[in-house]
């Protein structure tokens, strides 16, 4: 039986935390907000995301821990010790490392349901938050990590309340998947964008929509993305090596001694055709 | 004094050639169309891009050679021998190799003005053509390659008639610039997209807007892009090596023996910050 969700506390009022709060406010859920930066709380309150958490507040139905991956277990442990809520979830982009750290920190795993809404933006902070950030996006929720059924049910229904589609995942499978679908694209986009940090004005003049699209996600917060990367380092390094080896293959073909008009381009065409197939698979996925 | 542009012949009715024709038709220029594929000509005529070129047609004011880089010099030479127009231009994405091949083929360089409209789309062929494809886009025109002043003037004014902003370039500088701004982004996007050619359904489910943006240009025609790459192979290989070495640096940091929570992420943050700077430069360019 669905428990009533009347009060939620959000710890970490960045883009994701504040957007969760805004989405829940649209369903008349009372939201308390907390952040290590008082300015972030003020901005989130000003955006209509809720009211500042005070020591006098009783336990919420649910606490959403929306801090960087490396801080999640520590903040979760402190929140549980403080009795901040009956059920806890997080939104970190990596799951195995967070679950392991939570166990190691002695967190109560029966009341903790690890999660990851697959939404974001090229801007960060509470000012960029939107109530519809999660509409029709996937919200990954980890099953099988010891959470009680009613805790799981509450987190799933909260995610659905924001407009998300819930996808139950295993933490390790999640991390392998997002290494490909999110973390490596971010790093590759960043490596491409870095070419423009110091380039000629002619190069900038001749840059069009293609490279603007390809580098959009390179605008993400470096400290947050470095923290994500270190918490999924092996999966990311593996996938990144595949991309790197692919570029090395292009370079080898391009520097073939038989260059120019006589070059055999069949190997290049094969590589580019694989890109076509991947793009097509991505575009027509269910 | 500007010569009157009343008749233009377009050789190669793909996306670019047909879009040039459509743009000129909006200014009541008579356009004749030719392609090695009769179906492409039919599609371009059906789109309102002009009428099929016939042997009875007299010389046009301008012929636009819109074929792949490796074919440009040959088609230019044949067009000049046939006396197809008074002035000739091309639209190939590489310029040094095309200019060299034109000289080698014995083309008349006084009537040939090499050009490159920086516009395109993720679709190809005459059906994807649009009259406004060049609106507010840069059209690179090569000066100093032997073209007569009136030929240069005609090509510049034709480019401007399509809504483009003309940028006069040196062929070698152009090729170095587009290696960074266009060719390498295409290859990197393709290498990223190739990850999805054979991946798990969970990975596809967890893919969001970020990777869709980053892989959009990977949909380009492999044969055309391989032909572009082989005609700018040294510049592309050099820039691609920079990106490849950048990815290798990420991999090294991620596989540092001190992984997990204790990893020093300062090197990762520096790499990601360079991506931020490049993205910012690109976004705020003039």
> Å from B81 to nearest chain A CA?
22
Given CB atoms, is B189 within the 8 Å cutoff of chain A? yes
In this model, does residue B1 exceed pLDDT 60? no
Q: Give tens-digit pLDDT for B44-72.
A: 999 999 999 998 999 999 999 999 999 99
H helices present in chain B, as ranges: 15-25, 38-46, 69-82, 96-104, 149-161, 171-178, 184-193, 201-205, 209-214, 222-230, 233-254, 266-283
Q: Which of A97, A247, A281 sits opposite B243 (nearest CB)?
A: A247
B166 touches chain A (CB under 8 A): no
pLDDT at A258: 65
With 0-12 / 13-18 / 19 or more C-beta atoms within 10 angstroms meaning exposed / middle / buried, residue A144 is exposed
Q: Do A194 and B169 touch (CB under 8 A)?
A: no
DSSP assignment, residue A36?
A: S
User: B117 φ, ψ to 5°?
Assistant: -75, 125
Distances in whole angstroms, Cα of residue B222 to Cα of each of A280, B44, B161, B229: 13, 22, 31, 10
- pLDDT of residue A112 exceeding 50, the answer is yes
8 Å CB contact of A206 and B138: yes
Is residue B2 predicted with pLDDT exceeding 90? no
User: Could you tell me if A51 lies within 8 Å of chain B, comparing CB atoms?
Assistant: no
A242, A257 Cβ separation under 8 angstroms: no
Residue B120 pLDDT? 77
Interface of A with B in 213-242 (CB under 8 A): 213-220, 222-223, 225-227, 229-231, 233-234, 236-237, 239-242
Q: What is the pLDDT of residues B121-142, one digit of tens each?
A: 667 899 999 999 999 999 999 9
Residues 5-34 (B) with a CB less than 8 A from some CB of A = none
pLDDT, residue A81, reads: 97
Q: Do B191 and A271 touch (CB under 8 A)?
A: yes
Instruction: Say if the Cβ atoms of B191 and A247 lie within 8 Å.
Output: yes
Percent of chain A whose predicted confidence (pLDDT) is above 70:
97
Q: CB distance from A276 to chain B under 8 Å? A: yes
What would the 3-class secondary structure string for B226-273 be?
Answer: HHHHHCCHHHHHHHHHHHHHHHHHHHHHHCCCCCHHHCCCHHHHHHHH
pLDDT at position A249 over 60: yes
pLDDT in the model for residue B3: 58
B152: three-class secondary structure by DSSP? helix
Q: How far is the C-alpha of A99 from the C-alpha of A197, rounded, in Å?
A: 37
For residue B1 the two structure tokens come to 């004094």
Residues A88-111 pLDDT 10s:
999 999 999 999 999 999 999 999
CA nearest A135: which of A150, A119, A154, A121?
A119
Cα A1 to the center of its chain, rounded Å: 30
Arithmetic mean of pLDDT, B151-169: 97
The pLDDT of B209-222, averaged and rounded, is 94
CA distance A109 to chain B (A): 20
Q: What is the pLDDT of residue B175?
A: 98
Q: Decide if pLDDT at B258 tops 80.
A: no
**Quick check: B196 and B204 in contact, CB under 8 A?**
yes
Q: How far apart are CA A6 and CA A205, in angstroms?
A: 54
Q: With 90 as the cut, is the pLDDT of residue B30 above it?
A: yes
User: Which of the four pLDDT bands, split at 50, 70 and 90, describes residue B268?
Assistant: very high
Which residue, chain included where needed, has tokens 């970190």?
A92
Distance CA A15, CA A44 (A): 9
Q: Among all residues of chain B, which has the CA nearest to that of A190?
A: B275
CA A52 – CA A34 distance, rounded (Å): 6
- Per residue in A113-129, pLDDT (tens digit) is 999 999 876 678 999 99
Give per-residue pLDDT as tens, A43-85.
Answer: 999 999 999 999 899 999 999 999 999 999 999 999 999 999 9
Terminal CA-CA length for chain A: 30
- Asked if A274 lies within 8 A of B243 by C-beta distance, the reply is no
- Burial class of residue B178 in the structure, from the number of CB atoms within 10 Å of its CB (0-12 exposed, 13-18 middle, 19+ buried): buried
Q: How far is A251 from chain B (nearest CA, A)?
A: 5
> Taking CB atoms and an 8 Å limit, are A278 and B193 in contact across chains?
yes
DSSP A145-208: SS--HHHHHHHHHHHHHTT-EEEEE-HHHHHHHHIIIIIHHHHHHHHHHGGGTT--HHHHHT--
For A280, name the nearest residue in chain B, comparing CA atoms only. Answer: B219
Predicted TM-score of the model (pTM): 0.93
Q: Which residues contact A119 (CB under 8 A, 6 or more apart)?
A: A16, A19, A133, A134, A137, A164, B208
Instruction: Give this complex's ipTM.
Output: 0.93
pLDDT at A1: 42
Per-residue model confidence (pLDDT) at position B144: 87
pLDDT score for B279: 97
In the prediction, which pLDDT does A2 show? 55
Question: Would the CB atoms of A260 and B173 count as touching at under 8 Å?
Answer: no
CA distance A85 to B76: 75
Q: What is the pLDDT of residues A165-217, one digit of tens each?
A: 999 999 999 999 999 999 999 999 999 999 999 999 999 999 999 999 999 99
Considering only residues 62 to 81 of chain A, which have any Cβ-Cβ distance to chain B shorter than 8 Å? 70
pLDDT at site A183 = 97
pLDDT of B286 reads 64
- In the structure, what pLDDT confidence band is assigned to residue A21 with cuts at 50, 70 and 90? very high
| A43 vs A33: CA distance, rounded Å | 11
C-alpha A259/C-alpha A255 separation (Å) is 7
Band of pLDDT at residue A263, cut at 50, 70 and 90: confident
Give the integer Cα–Cα distance in Å for A28 and A166. 21
């Amino acid at each position: 039986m669905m428990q009533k969700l009347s009060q939620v506390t959000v710890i970490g009022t960045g883009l994701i935390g504040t957007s969760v709060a805004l989405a829940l406010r649209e369903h008349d859920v009372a939201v308390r907000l907390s952040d290590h930066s008082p300015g972030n709380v003020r901005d989130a309150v000003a955006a209509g995301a809720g009211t500042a958490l005070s020591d006098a507040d009783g336990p919420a139905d649910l606490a959403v821990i929306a801090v960087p991956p490396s801080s999640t277990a520590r903040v979760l442990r402190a929140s549980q010790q403080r009795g901040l809520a009956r059920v806890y979830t997080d939104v970190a982009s990596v799951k195995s490392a967070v679950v392991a750290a939570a166990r190691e920190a002695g967190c109560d795993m029966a009341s903790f349901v690890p999660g990851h809404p697959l939404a974001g933006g090229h801007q960060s902070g509470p000012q960029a938050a939107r109530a519809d950030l999660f509409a029709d996006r996937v919200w990954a929720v980890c099953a099988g990590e010891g959470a009680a059924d009613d805790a799981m049910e509450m987190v799933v229904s909260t995610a659905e309340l924001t407009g998300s589609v819930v996808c139950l995942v295993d933490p390790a499978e999640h991390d392998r998947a997002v290494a490909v679908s999110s973390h490596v694209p971010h790093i590759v986009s960043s490596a491409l964008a870095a070419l423009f940090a110091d380039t000629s004005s002619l190069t900038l003049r001749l840059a069009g929509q293609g490279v603007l699209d390809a580098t959009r996600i390179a605008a993400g917060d470096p400290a947050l993305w470095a923290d994500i990367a270190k918490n999924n380092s092996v999966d990311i390094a593996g996938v990144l090596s595949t991309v790197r080896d692919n570029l090395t293959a292009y370079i080898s073909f391009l520097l073939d001694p038989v260059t120019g008009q006589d070059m055999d381009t069949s190997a290049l065409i094969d590589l580019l055709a694989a890109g076509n197939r991947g793009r097509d698979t991505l575009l027509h996925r269910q």
